[in-house]
C-alpha cells in the first residue's frame, strides 16, 4: 500500500487498531496477540513467513518505527548516542567505527543542537521533543525504506509537535524514506501526508489522496471526523459535530457495517451486510453502502 | 534508604481506604480485602497451618503426650516408633511433646514481639510523623543508627548482659530492635496522611490532635501496619530460634525449637531426626507466616501484586 | 570518579565512624551501668589479686573516667585488652577475625547474587515454563529456611552423604583455613538471601520486559541476547541493587550463627564466646567492628548504584 518515498497517514479514533496495525508490520504484537489472517507484504515477500533471523534483519533496517511516548521509548541507562549506534551495528551495514562516526551527523540531521556533546547524554538529560528527535535519528540511521511513526507527537507540546512534523517532512523529502504516520490528528495528516487511510474498528473504511479525502469524504465516518474539527475558514457558524457513542467492542462486533450503530446516514442494509471496500473515485475507495455524495444529495443509496 | 527484605514498603499513595467517613465504604474495603485474600491459595494454606500451630500451642500448655522435661523414656537417640512418633532425643525425651511445647514458645515470642513492637512503633511513628520536631529527630536518628547494625547482635547482647532468660525478656529484647521497622513505616504513612484533605478538613473544624491521630490517621494506615506486624511474627520466631540455638534462649528444660535443633546437630550423623524434626517445624511455621504476609500484602494493595 | 563522588564517600566514611563511635559508647556505658561488678566477680581469686586485676584494667575508676580512657584508646585505634586472656590486645585480634568474617561474607554474597540473579533472569525470560515453576517453588521454600537449617542439610549431604556414597574417598572437612572449606558455610549463609534476590529479580525482569524501551530495542532489530542482557537486565537490576544493602546486613547477621556452627574463627564466633565468657572488652570491640563492616559494605553497594543507573549522581 505504501509506495517508495511516499507519505501515508493512518487516521482513526483511539483504540481502532492503528497502533496494532503498525506493530504487526514489524511483528511486534505483544503476547497473546497474533496475526490470524491477512498478509504483510514487503518488497513482494510476506513478512509473516520470515524466519527469526530474517525478521531481525528486517526490523530497524528495512522498516523502522518510532513510538508514541518518547519519554519511555529510550532506554534510561544507555547513552543516547550509543542507542543510535547500536541500531546501525546490529545490521552489519556499518562497522563499529563508521557507525560511531555517523551518530553525530544523524543527530545533526534531526536538528539537535550541540550533537557531539548530546550524543554522550543519557535520555533523562533530554527534553521530550529532543528524545523524539533522537528516536527519529535512530529510526533513520540505517536508511530504511519505510519509517512508521506511531502518534509521534501525541505526548509533546503543540509547538514541538509542529517542529517534529516539519522534521519528518524534510527528512522524507531529503532521504526519500517512505513515512507512515499514525495519528488521530487530522491537521497533522493534512500538513504531511499525500495519501490517507481512515480506520474504524480495525478495518479500513476509506482511503485516497489527502486532498480528495478532505474535500470530498465518502464514508460517513470520515465525514464526521472532518466535521468534528473546527475550521477557521468556515463561513457558516455551524456547530461542531461529534460522533455519538464509542467504537464497538471488537470481541463482540455488531452485525453488518461496524460503524452503523453510530452512523446518522444508515439504511437497513447497513445492519445486515458488511459493505466491501470499493472504488468511489480516482484512487479513492470507501467501505459504505450509502456514500456521502448520495447522503448529502438526499438521494437514496445507489444499490 | 532501603528496607529490610520482608518489610512492607507502600507505594506513593498506597493502601488508603477510599473514604473514612462513610462506615459502609470502609466495611466494603475490608470485605474486598478478605475476598482477595480468600482467593490466594498459598495464603489460605498459611492460615490453616497457623491455626493448627495456635491450637497446638494452647493444647501443649495443659497436655502433651509425655512431660516435656522427662528424660529416659526409652533408649536415647531412638528413631520414630509407634509410642514416640517423632522418636526420642539425646537424653531420651519425647520429641513430639517437646515439639508441641516449642510451638508454644515460638507462638508466644512471635505474637508477643509483634504486639509489643507494634505498640512502641505505632505510637512513636504517629508522634514523629504528626508533630515532627524533636520526637521525629530522635526517632529518625535511632532508625538511622540502628539500621546499620545486625539486629541479632543487639538482641544477643541484651539477653546476655541482662542475664535474664525468661520469655518476657526475650520478647522485650527482640522488640527493642523490631519496633524500628514499624516506626519507620508509620512515620512515613503519617507524614503523607497528615497532608491529606480529610485531615485538613478535620483540623479546620477544630478537631483535637489526639482525635485526628486516632480516628483519621491511624485507621488509614492500618493496612500496611497489619502487613508489617504479620512479617514481624516470623522474624521474631526466627530470632528466638537463633538465640536458643546459640544457647541464649529460654532456660532448659523449657523446649524451644532452636535449642532442640542445636542439641540434634551434635548427633546429626547417627540420629538426624533429632535436628530435622524441629528444623522442619520451624521452616513450615516461617513459611506459613510468610505466605499469609504475602497474601495480606497483595490483598490490601492489589497494585503491588506479583 | 568525580569530585562529588569523593565528597560523598568522605561523608559516608565520617558517618560510619560516627555510628561506630555512638554504638560502641552506648554499649560501653550500658555494660558498665550494670548493677554490681559484672566483670571479674566469678573468678576464684583472693581479694588482693582481685583488686590488682581491677586496677590493671582501670575498673576501679569511676565509669566516666573509664569511658574517657577507653574513648582515648579507641581514637588511637586501641580497643583495649581482653578481660579473660590477660595480655591479649583486642585490636589485632578483632582485625584478624574481621578479615575471616569478611571472606566468608564475600563468598556468601557472591553465591547469593550469582544464584539469585541468574535464576531470576532465566525464570523471567522463560516465564510459565517448568523451569520457572521449579525455581519459584524452591525460592518459596528457601525464603523460609533459616541458615542453620540449610547448614544442617548441607552438612548431612557433604559430610555424611559424600562419605558414605564414595566409601570415604570424598569427604567434607568442617573447619576453616582451606579453600575447600569455604563453600558449605558460604552456601548455608547465602541460600535464604538468594531466594529473596531471585524473587525480586524475576518480578523486576518481568516488569522491564514489558517496557517501551525494550520494544524499541526489538524494533531496532537487535539480537535477542542483546535485548535481554543490555536493555532489559540492566534496568531490571536497579531495584535488585537497592536491596543489596539490607541483604548484606542480613548475611552478616547470619554469619554469627554460621561461624558458631562451623567453628569458623570470625567475629561472630568471637562475639558468642566473649558473651559467654563475659569478656565485655572484646564484646564492645566486636560490636564496633560489626558496625564498621556493615557500614562499609553498604557504602560499597551504594557506590555500585550509580554505575547501573546513570540518573543517580552523588
Answer for the pair A61, A142: CB distance below 8 angstroms, yes or no: yes
- A232 touches C at CB < 8 Å: no
Residue ranges of domains in chain B: 30-66+93-305
- C111 touches B at CB < 8 Å: no
pLDDT at residue A7 is higher than 80: yes
Contact state of C235 with A60 under an 8 Å Cβ cutoff: no
| Sign, Cα dihedral of B52, B57, B61, B64 | positive
- pLDDT tens per residue across span C274-283: 888 778 888 8
Q: In this structure, how many other beta carbons lie within 10 angstroms of the beta carbon of residue C7?
A: 11
The A residues from 114 to 143 touching C (CB cutoff 8 Å) are: 122, 124, 135, 138
pLDDT at residue B163 is higher than 90: no
Residues of chain C with C-beta less than 8 angstroms from the C-beta of A58: 221
Contact state of C144 with B3 under an 8 Å Cβ cutoff: no
DSSP 3-state percent helix, strand, coil across chain A (nearest 5): 40, 15, 45
- C106 touches B at CB < 8 Å: no
Higher pLDDT, B14 or C270: C270
Question: Which among C145, C206, C257 has the least Cβ separation from residue B245?
Answer: C257
> Among residues of chain B, what percentage have pLDDT more than 70?
89
Contact state of C250 with B5 under an 8 Å Cβ cutoff: yes
Phi-psi region of C136 (alpha: psi -120 to 50; beta: other; left: phi over 0): alpha
Residues of chain B with C-beta less than 8 angstroms from the C-beta of C283: 157
* pLDDT the model gives residue A89: 86
Average pLDDT, chain C: 83
Query: Helix (H, G, I), strand (E, B), or coil: what is residue C46?
Result: coil
CA distances from C23 to B161, C28, C72, C289 (A): 16, 8, 16, 10
Average pLDDT, chain B: 81
How close C206 gets to chain A, by Cα (Å)? 13
- List beta partners, residue A41: A46
pLDDT at residue C114 is higher than 90: yes
Contact state of B2 with C242 under an 8 Å Cβ cutoff: yes
* pLDDT the model gives residue A32: 60
> What's the mean pLDDT in C47-52?
72
> What's the mean pLDDT in A247-261?
77
Answer for the pair C256, B150: CB distance below 8 angstroms, yes or no: yes
Contact state of C221 with A65 under an 8 Å Cβ cutoff: no
Question: Which among B1, B160, B286 has the least Cβ separation from residue C275?
Answer: B160
* pLDDT the model gives residue B51: 95
* pLDDT the model gives residue C202: 92
Q: What is the CA radius of gyration of chain C?
A: 24
Answer for the pair A50, A264: CB distance below 8 angstroms, yes or no: no
Residues of chain B with C-beta less than 8 angstroms from the C-beta of C298: 148
Q: Kindly identify which residue of chain C lies nearest to residue A24, measuring between CA atoms.
A: C219
Measured CA to CA, the distance from residue B161 to residue C274 in angstroms comes to 11
DSSP label of C156: I
- pLDDT tens per residue across span A102-129: 888 888 888 888 888 888 889 888 888 8
Mention every residue, 6+ apart, whose C-beta is less than 8 A from residue B75.
Answer: B88, B92
Contact state of C220 with A64 under an 8 Å Cβ cutoff: yes
Residues of chain B with C-beta less than 8 angstroms from the C-beta of C275: 156-157, 160, 248
Measured CA to CA, the distance from residue C185 to residue C101 in angstroms comes to 11
The C residues from 35 to 94 touching B (CB cutoff 8 Å) are: 38
> What's the mean pLDDT in A131-159?
84
Q: What DSSP assignment string belongs to C226-287?
A: HIIIIIIIHHHHHHHHHHHHHHHHHHHHHHHHHHHHHT--SHHHHHHHHHHHT-HHHHHHHH
CA torsion, ordered C118, C123, C124, C130, to nearest 10 deg:
170
Measured CA to CA, the distance from residue C270 to residue C249 in angstroms comes to 18
- pLDDT tens per residue across span C16-31: 888 888 888 888 887 7
* pLDDT the model gives residue B19: 39
Measured CA to CA, the distance from residue A50 to residue C7 in angstroms comes to 55
Measured CA to CA, the distance from residue B64 to residue B96 in angstroms comes to 8
- pLDDT tens per residue across span C187-238: 999 999 999 999 999 999 998 988 889 988 988 888 888 898 889 988 998 8
Q: Which of C127, C216, C228, C238 to mutate to test the interface with A (most CBs of A within 10 A)?
A: C216
* pLDDT the model gives residue B50: 94
Contact state of B148 with C256 under an 8 Å Cβ cutoff: no
Higher pLDDT, B156 or A33: B156
Contact state of B287 with C144 under an 8 Å Cβ cutoff: yes
- The phi and psi torsions of A178 (rounded to 5 degrees) equal -70, 145
DSSP 3-state percent helix, strand, coil across chain B (nearest 5): 70, 0, 30
Measured CA to CA, the distance from residue C254 to residue C101 in angstroms comes to 11
* pLDDT the model gives residue B1: 33
- C27 touches B at CB < 8 Å: yes
Where does residue C160 rank: exposed (0-12), middle (13-18), buried (19+ CB within 10 A)?
middle
CA torsion, ordered C136, C142, B15, C309, to nearest 10 deg:
-80
> Among residues of chain C, what percentage have pLDDT more than 70?
93
Which of C151, C152, C149, C143 lies closest to C116, judged by CA? Answer: C143
* pLDDT the model gives residue A110: 83
pLDDT at residue C180 is higher than 50: yes
pLDDT at residue B288 is higher than 90: yes
Contact state of B246 with C246 under an 8 Å Cβ cutoff: no
Higher pLDDT, A59 or B17: A59
Contact state of C213 with A74 under an 8 Å Cβ cutoff: yes
Contact state of A73 with C215 under an 8 Å Cβ cutoff: yes
And the C-alpha cell for B259? 535449642
pLDDT at residue B22 is higher than 60: no
Question: Which among A72, A77, A122 has the least Cβ separation from residue C212?
Answer: A72
pLDDT at residue B205 is higher than 60: yes
CA distances from A173 to A4, A6, A105, A189, A193 (A): 12, 9, 17, 16, 12
Note the CATH architecture for domain C105-276.
Answer: Orthogonal Bundle (1.10)
Q: Kindly identify which residue of chain A lies nearest to residue C234, measuring between CA atoms.
A: A77
- Measured at the CA of B35, the angle between CA B31 and CA B41, to 5 degrees, comes to 150
Contact state of B161 with C243 under an 8 Å Cβ cutoff: no
* pLDDT the model gives residue B17: 39
Residues of chain C with C-beta less than 8 angstroms from the C-beta of A76: 213, 235, 309-311
Where does residue A264 rank: exposed (0-12), middle (13-18), buried (19+ CB within 10 A)?
exposed
Q: Which of A259-263, B132-136, B242-246 has the highest mean pLDDT?
A: B242-246
Query: Helix (H, G, I), strand (E, B), or coil: what is residue B94?
Result: strand
Answer for the pair A292, A215: CB distance below 8 angstroms, yes or no: no
Task: Write out the residues of chain C at the interface with chain A, using a CB-CB cutoff of 8 A.
Answer: 210-213, 215-223, 226, 230-231, 234-235, 238, 308-311
pLDDT at residue B297 is higher than 90: no
Q: Which of A5-19, A127-141, A224-238 has the highest mean pLDDT?
A: A127-141
Residues of chain B with C-beta less than 8 angstroms from the C-beta of C207: 306
Question: Which among A74, A90, A122 has the least Cβ separation from residue C222?
Answer: A90
* pLDDT the model gives residue B237: 93
Higher pLDDT, B117 or A164: B117
Residues of chain C with C-beta less than 8 angstroms from the C-beta of A137: none
Contact state of A75 with C220 under an 8 Å Cβ cutoff: no
Q: Do chains B and A touch (3 or more CB pairs under 8 A)?
A: no
And the C-alpha cell for C132? 520457572
- C146 touches B at CB < 8 Å: yes
- Measured at the CA of B206, the angle between CA B204 and CA B211, to 5 degrees, comes to 110
* pLDDT the model gives residue C127: 84
Contact state of A122 with C222 under an 8 Å Cβ cutoff: no
* pLDDT the model gives residue B45: 92
pLDDT at residue B54 is higher than 90: yes
> What's the mean pLDDT in C281-294?
85
Contact state of B148 with C298 under an 8 Å Cβ cutoff: yes
- pLDDT tens per residue across span B76-117: 777 788 778 888 887 778 888 889 988 999 999 999 999 999
- C149 touches B at CB < 8 Å: yes
Residues of chain B with C-beta less than 8 angstroms from the C-beta of C148: 241-242, 245, 261-262, 265, 279
pLDDT at residue A298 is higher than 80: no
Residue ranges of domains in chain C: 105-276
> Among residues of chain B, what percentage have pLDDT more than 90?
24
Residue A265 CA from chain centroid, whole number: 28
Measured CA to CA, the distance from residue A117 to residue A132 in angstroms comes to 17
> Among residues of chain A, what percentage have pLDDT more than 70?
88
pLDDT at residue C38 is higher than 60: no
How close A75 gets to chain C, by Cα (Å)? 5
- pLDDT tens per residue across span C239-275: 888 888 888 888 888 888 899 888 899 888 888 888 8
* pLDDT the model gives residue C223: 87
* pLDDT the model gives residue C36: 46
In CATH terms, is domain B30-66+93-305 a member of 1.10.3720.10?
yes
Average pLDDT, chain A: 80
Q: What DSSP assignment string belongs to B3-15?
A: --TTS----TT-S
Mention every residue, 6+ apart, whose C-beta is less than 8 A from residue B205.
Answer: none
C-contacting chains (≥3 CB pairs under 8 Å): A, B
- A87 touches C at CB < 8 Å: yes
> What's the mean pLDDT in C102-129?
91
A-contacting chains (≥3 CB pairs under 8 Å): C
- C262 touches B at CB < 8 Å: no
Contact state of C223 with A56 under an 8 Å Cβ cutoff: yes
* pLDDT the model gives residue A303: 40
pLDDT at residue B52 is higher than 90: yes
Amino acid at each position: 500500500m505504501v509506495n517508495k518515498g511516499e507519505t501515508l497517514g493512518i487516521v482513526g479514533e483511539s483504540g481502532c487498531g492503528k497502533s496494532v496495525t503498525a506493530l504487526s508490520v514489524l511483528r511486534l504484537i505483544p503476547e497473546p496477540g497474533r496475526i490470524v489472517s491477512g498478509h504483510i507484504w514487503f518488497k513482494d515477500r510476506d513478512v509473516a513467513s520470515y524466519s527469526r533471523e530474517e525478521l531481525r534483519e528486517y526490523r530497524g533496517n528495512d522498516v523502522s518505527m518510532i513510538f508514541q511516548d518518547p519519554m519511555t521509548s529510550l532506554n534510561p541507562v544507555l547513552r543516547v548516542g550509543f542507542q543510535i549506534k547500536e541500531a546501525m551495528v546490529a545490521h552489519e551495514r556499518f562497522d563499529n567505527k563508521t557507525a560511531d562516526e555517523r551518530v553525530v551527523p544523524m543527530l545533526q540531521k534531526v536538528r539537535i543542537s550541540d550533537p557531539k556533546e548530546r550524543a554522550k547524554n543519557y535520555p533523562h538529560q533530554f527534553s521530550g521533543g529532543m528524545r523524539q528527535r533522537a528516536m527519529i535519528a535512530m529510526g533513520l540511521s540505517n536508511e530504511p525504506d519505510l519509517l512508521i511513526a506511531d502518534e509521534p507527537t501525541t505526548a509533546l507540546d503543540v509547538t514541538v509537535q509542529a517542529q517534529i512534523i516539519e522534521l519528518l517532512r524534510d527528512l522524507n523529502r531529503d532521504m526519500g524514506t517512505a513515512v507512515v504516520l499514525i495519528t488521530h490528528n487530522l491537521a497533522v495528516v493534512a500538513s504531511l501526508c499525500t495519501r490517507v487511510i481512515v480506520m474504524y474498528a480495525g478495518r479500513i473504511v476509506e482511503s485516497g489522496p489527502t486532498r480528495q479525502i478532505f474535500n470530498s469524504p465518502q464514508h460517513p465516518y470520515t465525514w464526521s471526523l472532518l466535521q468534528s474539527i473546527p475550521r477557521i475558514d468556515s463561513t457558516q457558524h455551524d456547530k461542531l459535530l461529534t460522533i455519538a457513542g464509542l467504537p464497538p467492542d471488537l470481541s463482540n462486533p455488531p452485525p453488518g457495517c461496524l460503524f452503523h450503530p453510530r452512523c446518522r446516514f444508515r439504511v437497513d442494509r447497513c445492519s445486515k451486510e458488511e459493505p466491501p471496500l470499493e472504488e468511489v473515485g480516482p484512487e479513492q475507495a470507501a467501505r459504505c453502502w450509502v456514500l456521502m455524495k448520495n447522503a448529502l444529495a438526499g438521494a437514496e443509496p445507489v444499490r | 534508604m532501603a528496607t529490610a527484605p520482608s518489610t512492607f514498603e507502600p507505594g506513593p499513595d498506597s493502601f488508603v481506604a477510599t473514604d473514612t467517613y462513610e462506615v459502609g465504604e470502609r466495611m466494603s474495603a475490608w470485605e474486598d480485602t478478605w475476598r482477595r485474600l480468600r482467593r490466594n491459595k498459598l495464603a489460605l494454606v498459611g492460615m490453616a497451618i497457623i491455626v493448627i500451630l495456635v491450637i497446638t500451642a494452647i493444647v501443649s500448655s495443659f497436655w502433651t503426650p509425655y512431660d516435656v522435661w522427662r528424660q529416659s523414656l526409652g533408649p536415647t537417640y531412638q528413631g520414630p516408633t509407634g509410642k514416640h512418633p517423632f522418636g526420642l532425643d539425646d537424653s531420651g525425651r519425647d520429641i513430639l511433646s517437646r515439639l508441641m511445647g516449642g510451638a508454644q514458645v515460638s507462638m508466644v515470642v512471635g505474637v508477643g514481639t509483634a504486639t509489643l513492637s507494634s505498640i512502641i512503633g505505632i505510637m512513636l511513628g504517629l508522634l514523629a510523623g504528626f508533630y515532627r520536631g524533636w520526637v521525629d529527630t530522635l526517632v529518625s536518628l535511632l532508625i538511622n543508627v540502628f539500621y546499620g547494625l545486625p539486629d541479632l547482635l543487639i538482641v544477643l547482647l541484651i539477653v546476655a548482659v541482662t542475664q535474664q532468660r525468661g520469655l518476657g525478656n526475650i520478647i522485650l529484647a527482640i522488640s527493642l530492635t523490631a519496633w524500628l521497622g514499624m516506626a519507620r513505616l508509620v512515620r512515613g504513612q503519617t507524614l503523607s496522611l497528615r497532608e491529606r484533605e480529610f485531615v485538613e478538613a478535620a483540623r479546620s473544624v477544630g478537631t483535637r490532635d489526639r482525635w485526628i491521630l486516632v480516628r483519621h490517621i491511624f485507621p488509614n494506615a492500618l493496612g500496611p501496619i497489619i502487613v508489617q506486624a504479620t512479617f514481624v511474627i516470623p522474624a521474631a520466631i526466627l530470632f528466638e530460634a537463633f538465640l536458643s540455638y546459640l544457647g541464649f534462649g529460654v532456660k532448659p528444660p523449657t523446649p524451644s525449637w532452636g535449642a532442640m535443633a542445636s542439641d540434634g546437630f551434635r548427633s546429626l550423623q547417627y540420629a538426624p531426626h533429632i535436628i530435622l524434626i524441629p528444623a522442619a517445624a520451624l521452616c513450615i511455621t516461617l513459611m506459613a507466616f510468610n505466605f499469609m504476609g504475602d497474601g495480606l500484602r497483595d490483598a490490601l494493595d492489589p497494585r503491588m501484586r506479583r | 570518579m568525580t569530585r562529588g563522588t569523593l565528597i560523598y564517600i568522605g561523608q559516608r566514611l565520617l558517618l560510619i565512624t560516627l555510628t561506630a563511635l555512638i554504638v560502641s559508647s552506648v554499649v560501653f556505658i550500658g555494660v558498665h551501668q550494670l548493677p554490681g561488678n559484672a566483670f571479674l566477680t566469678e573468678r576464684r581469686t583472693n581479694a588482693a589479686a582481685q583488686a590488682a586485676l581491677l586496677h590493671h584494667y582501670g575498673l576501679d575508676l569511676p565509669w566516666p573516667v573509664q569511658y574517657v580512657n577507653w574513648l582515648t584508646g579507641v581514637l588511637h585505634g586501641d580497643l583495649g585488652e581482653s578481660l579473660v586472656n590477660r595480655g591479649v590486645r583486642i585490636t589485632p585480634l578483632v582485625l584478624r577475625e574481621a578479615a575471616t568474617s569478611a571472606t566468608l561474607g564475600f563468598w556468601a554474597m557472591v553465591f547469593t547474587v550469582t544464584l539469585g540473579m541468574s535464576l531470576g533472569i532465566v525464570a523471567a525470560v522463560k516465564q510459565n515454563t517448568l523451569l520457572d515453576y521449579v525455581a519459584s517453588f524452591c525460592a518459596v521454600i528457601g525464603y523460609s529456611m533459616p541458615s542453620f537449617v540449610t547448614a544442617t542439610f548441607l552438612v548431612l549431604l557433604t559430610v555424611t552423604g559424600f562419605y558414605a556414597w564414595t566409601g570415604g574417598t570424598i569427604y567434607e572437612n568442617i573447619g576453616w583455613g582451606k579453600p575447600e572449606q569455604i563453600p558449605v558455610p558460604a552456601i548455608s549463609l547465602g541460600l535464604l538471601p538468594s531466594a529473596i534476590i531471585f524473587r525480586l529479580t524475576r518480578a523486576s525482569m518481568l516488569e522491564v520486559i514489558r517496557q517501551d524501551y525494550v520494544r524499541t530495542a526489538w524494533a531496532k532489530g537487535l539480537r535477542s541476547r542483546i535485548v535481554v542482557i543490555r536493555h532489559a537486565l540492566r534496568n531490571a537490576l536497579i531495584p535488585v541493587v537497592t536491596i543489596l544493602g539490607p541483604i548484606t546486613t542480613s548475611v552478616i547477621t547470619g554469619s554469627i550463627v554460621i561461624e558458631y556452627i562451623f567453628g569458623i574463627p570470625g567475629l561472630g564466633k568471637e562475639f558468642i564466646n566473649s558473651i559467654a565468657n563475659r569478656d565485655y572488652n572484646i564484646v564492645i570491640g566486636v560490636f564496633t567492628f560489626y558496625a564498621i563492616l556493615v557500614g562499609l559494605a553498604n557504602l560499597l553497594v551504594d557506590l555500585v548504584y550509580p554505575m547501573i543507573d546513570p540518573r543517580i549522581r552523588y
